[in-house]
Amino acid sequence: MGTWVLHVDLDQFVAAVEVLRRPELRGRPVVVGGRGDPTERGVVSTASYEAREYGVGSGMPLRVAARKLAEVPDAVFLPVDADAYTAASETVMATLRALDVVVQVLGWDEAFLGAETDDPEALARRVQHAVLAASALHCSVGIGDNTLRAKIATGFGKPRGMFRLTADNWFTVMGDRDTSALWGIGTKTAKKLAALGVHTVRELAVADEVRLADALGPTTGPWLARLGRGRGSTRVSDEPYIARGHGRETTFQHNLADRADIEDAVRTLARRVAGDVRAEGRPATRVTLKVRYAPFETHTSSRALPEPTFDVPTITDAALALTERLDPSRAIRLLGIRLDMTPPR
């Protein structure tokens, strides 16, 4: 019996839930995001595989998605229905917990499983069959000897398949791939690594950690080198996720440029997120302001609060103070407020 980590990822989850509710959409390019109106500002939450063939992807502005699908007569845009996705997700997670494995939920559509088995592929097939029977949803399963490798392996198994990635085949599979293929490395970090002459996973694995630490930070540098070697946690925990904070944000249909409008929007967001923190019962300790300038450039700034508090005026004043750091010459398309909270007792 070996110790294995499985990563279960529901295929095109949000789009798949919508197709189950509307079978006539099967086989059509389906895009879910915002209020379902591609003429409004909003981003794609998910796209069906048929829509992805036209270059539509998660996080893309709805208007860009609409342009890519302009010549596709059967494409459809739908609004986000969080309640429906939550219900489908709960069915799947309950099914996984019934399989005598440790389940660590990562979000609506994915989870790590920790299991003792001598045949992880057989367990993966069992997972797929159980999920399909309970929810009518398909999933892909990554099999690994740690969470990092299991997570990455899932991508090689999509859709509806499985793949095993371990220390034995890590460099065979990943060695010549760009560093951005690693879970945890985005485009910006990959560019920083490329500037250091580190382009592939193999090059990252053998990179000088002191040099990485000097360039990218004493914690981040060595951590990136470990990613290159495929190192990750072998522990899967079923402890409930505890939020570190709460946030609210708004995308404006028309850019904000007037100072009074910006401050009004910040006051509204601060009041709402302060209510979220109070409902959690853990006072706020830090406020962060997120701004997205037109056309699509995002910045954040933050400050610690004098003491943990639920007080709305104190939180609002701190958020408004952060607006002094905004560029007054640039129009704003999105604002967001996040509050970090005290740890749970």
So what's the pLDDT on residue 295? 86
Catalytic site positions: 110
Backbone angles phi, psi at 109, to 5 degrees: -120, 15
**What is the tens place of the pLDDT at every residue in 284-329?**
999 999 999 998 899 999 999 999 999 999 999 999 999 999 999 9
DSSP state of 240: P
So what's the pLDDT on residue 240? 82
DSSP E strand boundaries for the chain: 2-10, 30-32, 46-47, 76-78, 102-107, 110-117, 139-144, 162-165, 245-256, 284-293, 297-309, 332-341
**What is the tens place of the pLDDT at every residue in 115-154?**
999 999 999 999 999 999 999 999 999 999 999 999 999 9
- Percent pLDDT > 70 in the chain is 100
**What is the tens place of the pLDDT at every residue in 142-200?**
999 999 999 999 999 999 999 999 999 999 999 999 999 999 999 999 999 999 999 99
State pTM to two decimals.
0.84
Domains of the chain: 2-13+83-165 (3.30.70.270), 15-81 (3.40.1170.60), 174-228 (1.10.150.20), 245-341 (3.30.1490.100)
Q: What value does the mean pLDDT take over residues 72-97? A: 96
